Structures are given as C-alpha cells and as structure tokens.
Amino acid sequence: MSHRILIVLTSHDKLGDTGQKTGFWLEEFAAPYYVFKDAGATLTLASPQGGPPPLDPTSDKPDAQTDATRRFKADSRAQAELADTKKLADVDAGSFDAVFFPGGHGPLWDLADDKHSIALIEQMAKAGKPVAAVCHAPAVLRRPKVDGKSIVDGRDVTGFTNSEEKAAGLTDVVPFLIEDMLKENGGNYSKADDWQPHIVVDGKLITGQNPASSGPAAEALLKMLDQR
C-alpha cells in the first residue's frame, strides 16, 4: 500500500516590515515532492488558508534552481496540485502516515502559532507517526507539546542556523531565530557548515538544516515509513 503523506505549506507572504515578499522555498517543496512521488506515495497538500501558497520570490531566482525545481516548472500536474492546497483546518491527522513541512520564511509567521498545525503535530506524535520539517519549517515545533513538555525537549534536532540567517541578512527581520528557539525549548541542537546538507533523526522526528537538506530529509522519512 502506498504511503499517505501530508505536505503542509505556509500561507504567509509578508517578510516582516520590509515590504518584501516571502512564502515557501521552492526547492524545499519540489525536492521532497518528487522523492515521495517517485516512491509511489499518495500526497495531500495543505496550508492554513488553502488554495495557492505564496512562493518566496528569492527561491525562484536562477541561482536557486535545482533539478527538482526545474522538473516542477515543467510539471503542469504538480503545479495544479500546488495551486489547490486543502485548508489545514479540514485535514484529519488520522488519514495520513506522516507529515512533512517545507520551509521558507513564511512558517515563522503563520505555522509556528497555527492551532491546527500544533494539533496536527501533537496528534501525529501521539500516534507514533513521523513528523519532518526542514530549514525554517522547524518553526512548527515551537508550540506542540508531548506529555506536557515541548516536542523538542531532550530531542536531537536541527534547523536553519543563526549564521545562515545572518548570511541571508534577516536576523533582525524574523520574529525569532530557529536555532535559538530549538535550544530554548530544550532541543539538543546540531548543525553542519552553512548551506551544507544536515539532517537529524530522533525517534519519529526528522529535521533538516537548510534547502540542501530537504531531499535527504524526505528520503529519511520514506525509509522510516518503509520500516514500519
């Protein structure tokens, strides 16, 4: 039977008070999307507001393109699927084997505090189902609790580093820094050099550091589902 995987994207498109746009990072959606699709998984896409999630324009620039993003650009079916995400409030955690959160700066503003996202993660964790988040998407782990404490408390985790945020020039723009938040919540945070792939698996929790980690994080999730 094919794995049923939920991909949850941001609906937030404003980069703080900069007047610039943000959203999800194309590579962090496209790479996992094809890892899952090519493995025959059944995918459902959702976002807080439903409909088309905002694409971070920076992730659409020529220097940010990868094989996966180029494949997506040529894939009208995938584009149609992305343009029609379900409303997160209408999604039932019980219908899925795992959930994957692509990053981009958007999740820092909406998914980090979204009650439906928090409930979904808590339900998945309780049911022993994998939860994966890459780059800025570990923002979604800020509020969920397991047995009364933060889901990352005492767990090995990673996410976008303070130095990567500094390199992006957005340290003073973002509402919080992923690295600091994970540590403050009791996470055992690790990282590789800036922009190098780094994923951490702790139990059913999978986190990736940056865009380059999104494909490997998706592969780790599939491996986990295959071993059930």
Q: What is the pLDDT of residues 17-61, one digit of tens each?
A: 999 999 999 999 999 999 999 999 999 999 999 999 999 999 999
Residues 6 or more apart in contact with residue 197 via CB below 8 angstroms:
208, 209, 210, 212, 213, 216
Grouping H, G, I as helix, E, B as strand and the rest as coil, residue 21 is: strand
- Show the CA angle centred on residue 31, arms to residues 29 and 12, nearest 5°: 10
SS3 content of the chain, % helix, strand, coil (to 5): 40, 20, 40
What pLDDT does residue 106 have? 98
Grouping H, G, I as helix, E, B as strand and the rest as coil, residue 138 is: helix
pLDDT tens-digit series, residues 163-218 = 999 999 999 999 999 999 999 999 999 999 999 999 999 999 999 999 999 999 99
Q: Is-contact 13 54, C-beta < 8 A?
A: yes
Q: Tell me how far apart the alpha carbons of residues 59 and 76 are, in angstroms, rounded to a whole number.
A: 19
Q: Is-contact 183 189, C-beta < 8 A?
A: yes
Structure tokens at 181: 């938040």
Query: In this structure, what CATH number is given to the domain that contains residue 170?
Result: 3.40.50.880
What pLDDT does residue 56 have? 97
What pLDDT does residue 135 have? 98
Q: How confident is the model at residue 228 (pLDDT cuts 50, 70, 90)?
A: confident
DSSP bridge pairs for 86: 46
Maximum Cα–Cα distance across the chain: 47
Q: How confident is the model at residue 82 (pLDDT cuts 50, 70, 90)?
A: very high
What pLDDT does residue 216 have? 98
Q: Is 208 exposed, middle or buried (0-12, 13-18, 19+ CB in 10 A)?
A: buried
| Domain interval for residue 162 | 4-226
> What percentage of the chain exceeds 70 in pLDDT?
100
Q: What's phi and psi for 202, nearest 5 deg?
A: -135, 105
> What percentage of the chain exceeds 90 in pLDDT?
98
Q: Is the pLDDT of residue 1 over 90?
A: no
Structure tokens at 30: 């496209």
Q: In total, how many domains does the chain have?
A: 1
